[in-house]
Amino acid sequence: MKDKDQLRIDRLREMLHLHNHRYYILDAPTISDFEFDQLLSELTQLESAYPAYFDPNSPTQRVGGGVTKNFETKKHRFPMYSLDNTYSKAELEEWEKKIHKIVGAEASLVYSCELKFDGASISLTYENGQFIQGVTRGDGTQGDDVTQNLKTIPTIPLQLQGTPPPFFEIRGEIVLPSKAFNRLNAAREAKGEPLYMNPRNTASGSLKLQDSHEVAKRGLSCFLYALAGDDLPLHSQFEALEKARSWGFKVPTTAQQAQNLQEVFAFLDYWDAKRTDLPYEIDGVVIKVDNLSLQEELGYTAKSPRWAIAYKFQAEQVETVLESVTYQVGRTGAITPVANLRPVLISGTTVKRASLHNADQIAKLGLRIGDTVGVEKGGEIIPKIVSVSEAHRGLEQQTVTFIENCPDCQAPLERSEGEAQHYCTNSTACPTQLIGKIQHFISRKAMDVEGIGSETVVQLFEAGLLRNIVDLYNLEPEAILQLDRMAEKSVQNIIDGVEASKVKPFSKVLFALGIRFVGETVAKTLAKHFRSIKNLKNASLEDLVAVDEIGDRIAQSVHSFLQNEIHWNQIFELQQLGLQWELAQEIDGGEMPLEGLKFVVSGVFETFDRSGLKTYIENKGGKIVSTVSKNTSYIVAGVGMGPSKKEKAAALGVPILDESALMELVEGSV
């Protein structure tokens, strides 16, 4: 039995959660601020007197106070994809045509239109109605755990209402309303401190403050807009928004269903005109296919969902002066021209540089040093020059001409027919390329070498300890210890991380080589088809093009790379050092028992998690698909498999396996 003090604590928490919801979510408070503060004060005193009754989601945790010195990296259970962007209604029409090609011309498409908030993306995890974790988007596969700071944001419910699923994630955007941003800057101005540049960056930076008490003062808000989970009982995106609202989330009321693209266009036009009336910043509209079954059928590219797209409003343009043009070298040798500008303020950010993309863009604009140019931010990280003022031109003798030699190593540049960019021809000795290749090799999506980051690569390169990826595996601890800011523990972390990377599978190693046009998906396809680096090297151009999804450009790039003697010698050395250059041998003398079979994985499993099960199937030769169709070979079903998948499987005659039946299939018993 609970004593009276514990019962009172429970009751106070219940009341305060309810009043928080009414105030911050419904904007309909039923008690005064004074009455709320009295209840909160009573709860604070009782919790202090009875620490055994501590609850991490108590309303008293809203005020913050916890200090986080290091934000732990956490993997997203469900990836947070980025969105493809468009600025054109014509491109939206093309997007719809692509959708119809996949789902059929007869498919009825309804859309969910939602404002695109300009803030920091976040993923929140709830279990049994309780908030348990919040992670930043990061690189889409993993981000920083900022749970303690998120608890201070009153529009993030710590305890849900109604009957939400037992476990799910919800995605949203942390925004800093205009009033809160102006208040913060007024306080900084009064203290003589530099002003924050814009609400978006301030919101993002606030999430990484070490003292959550300071985060609580910022006035951040959170809008939620996407549910993620295994077989959630939902049929449409719009239904998901309504459900989330009923569970206590702050879901924008501006979202609207559109029965066709004409209704989408009307929504775009309305908010393009009205966006300045909002109390927070938006930079566009997200359009999603509303039907979740169609979303599943459309699936994803390597980076983005095919069923959603972001329409960006026309960006703010300003004029400034072009002072010079410099050139950057990428890890593949691509040369990118960059305009250096007289500093100018665009959308709250001081801009000093703008991308010029390539030689064609420079020629199209007819740029001269000293030109007055129009610059816009658009959806790009680096702003771009979009126009030149004919009334304010630089001198003709200051016309910009594209360079002929690499700015780093002075090697001649080349531009292949049909390509927009120039490339440095010195791929094996250009310092910037070498550093970039090593940084790519150690990156998370490639070899994921723990203990070493991009800055450390530069430090090791400049010290002469790294010249190529082979050198990573020959690093001597004593030599690294001589460098600045290197202690024994950090050196050991580097050595351990490098050693651990030797077990990464062939597809990861192939991707890590940084072959032009070979991304993660292409690397997996090549590894699976050719099975070893030796087979891949011996493949002709015709052999490569014959592989599904490998075109002429990729084939030529792979063939040229592997026929290069320097590259091949490095691969041989890495092979001698223990890296994986062939697919792991499978049972029955290397046979792939699931070769040619397509699997849908659904539900929760005992032996594997979902990701591990998918990897197991792929390692045995199977292919993972997201939707059940007549081409699906099997469904591997765990606890909580969605009823819609069962119905579709039954209608199409697709067999359903549990984990043990899958193992029997691998062993040849089914």
CA distance 222 to 281: 13
pLDDT value at 607 more than 60: yes
* Burial (Cβ within 10 Å: 0-12, 13-18, ≥19) of residue 647: exposed
Quote the tokens at residue 504: 């990464």
| Residue written as token pair 């093009």 | 545
Name the least confident of 120-134, 311-325, 384-398, 610-624.
610-624
241 vs 139, higher pLDDT: 241
- Per-residue model confidence as pLDDT tens digits over 335-353: 999 999 999 988 667 889 9
C-alpha to C-alpha distance for 637 and 359, rounded to whole angstroms: 53
CB atoms within 10 A of CB 635: 20
The secondary structure of residue 211, as a DSSP letter, is B
Looking up tokens 């151009």, which residue turns up?
541
Q: Give the pLDDT confidence score for residue 70 in this predicted structure.
A: 74
Helix residue spans in 161-211 (DSSP H): 178-190, 199-206
In the predicted model, what is the mean pLDDT of residues 8-21? 84
Instruction: Decide: 146 and 134 in contact? Cβ < 8 Å.
Output: yes
Rounded to whole angstroms, how far apart are CA atoms 377 and 422?
24
Summarize pLDDT for 44-53 with one digit per residue, the tens: 888 888 888 8
Instruction: Kindly report, residue by residue over 451-485, the tens digit of the pLDDT.
Output: 999 999 999 999 999 999 999 999 999 999 999 88
CA end-to-end distance (rounded Å), the chain: 55
Instruction: Tell the burial category of 529 from Cβ atoms under 10 Å away from its Cβ (0-12, 13-18, 19+).
Output: middle
Q: Is the pLDDT of residue 61 over 80?
A: no
Q: Which residues are CB-neighbours of 507 under 8 A, at least 6 positions away?
A: 520, 523, 524, 526, 527, 528
Whether the predicted pLDDT of 578 surpasses 70:
yes
Give me the catalytic one of 74, 116, 243, 508.
Answer: 116
Confidence category of residue 641, pLDDT binned at 50, 70, 90: confident
Tell me the residue type at 223.
F
The whole-number pLDDT of residue 68 equals 64
Query: What are the residues facing 236 on neighbouring strands?
Result: 291
Q: Is the pLDDT of residue 57 over 90?
A: no
For the segment 142-157, the average pLDDT, to the nearest whole number, is 92
Confidence of residue 488 (pLDDT cuts 50, 70, 90): very high
Higher local confidence (pLDDT), 127 or 2: 127
More confident residue, 15 or 409: 409
- The pLDDT-based confidence of 146 (bands split at 50, 70, 90) is very high
pLDDT of residue 239: 95
Cα–Cα distance, 524 to 504 (Å, whole number):
13
For residues 162-173, give the mean pLDDT. 94
- Going by pLDDT thresholds of 50, 70 and 90, the confidence category of residue 591 is low
How far from the centroid of its chain's Cα atoms is residue 170's Cα?
15
b (16+ CB within 10 A) / e for 592-601:
bebeebbbbb
Residue 69's pLDDT band (cuts 50, 70, 90): low
Pair 147, 61: CB distance under 8 Å? no
Contacts of 277 (CB under 8 A, 6+ apart): none
Pick from 71, 241, 62: nearest CA to 158 = 62
Residue 432 has pLDDT above 50, yes or no: yes
Triad 352, 358, 360: Cα angle to 5° = 120
Residue 384 forms beta bridges with which residues?
355, 376
Poorest-pLDDT segment among 233-247, 289-303, 353-367 = 289-303
Distance, in Å, from the CA atom of 477 to the CA atom of 494, rounded to the nearest integer, reads 9
What does the alpha-carbon distance between residue 538 and residue 527 come to, in Å, rounded to a whole number? 13
Q: Is residue 598 pLDDT above 60, yes or no?
A: yes
Q: HSE on the CB side for 619, CA within 13 Å?
A: 14
pLDDT band at 372 (very low <50, low <70, confident <90, very high): very high
User: Which residues, including other chains, have CB under 8 Å from residue 661's CB and lie 6 or more apart?
Assistant: 670
Mean pLDDT of 150-175: 94
Q: What percent of the chain has pLDDT over 90?
A: 56
Residue count (the chain): 670
Q: Cβ contacts of residue 569 below 8 Å, gap of 6+?
A: none
The residue-averaged pLDDT of 152-161 equals 93
Report whether pLDDT(586) > 50.
no
Residue 364 reports pLDDT greater than 90: yes
Tell me if residue 568 falls in helix, strand or coil.
helix
Quote the pLDDT of residue 3. Answer: 81
Q: What is the DSSP string of 516-569?
A: TT--HHHHHHHHHHH-BHHHHHH--HHHHHTSTT--HHHHHHHHHHHH-HHHHH
3-class state of residue 579 by DSSP: coil
Residue 520 neighbours by CB distance under 10 Å: 15
623 is catalytic: no
The string of DSSP codes covering 81-130 is ----EES-HHHHHHHHHHHHHHH-TT----EEEEEEE-SEEEEEEEETTE
Using only C-alpha atoms, the chain has a radius of gyration, in whole angstroms, of 28
Q: Is 376 helix (H, G, I), strand (E, B) or coil?
A: strand
- Assess whether pLDDT exceeds 60 at residue 381: no
Positive or negative: CA dihedral 599, 605, 611, 615: negative
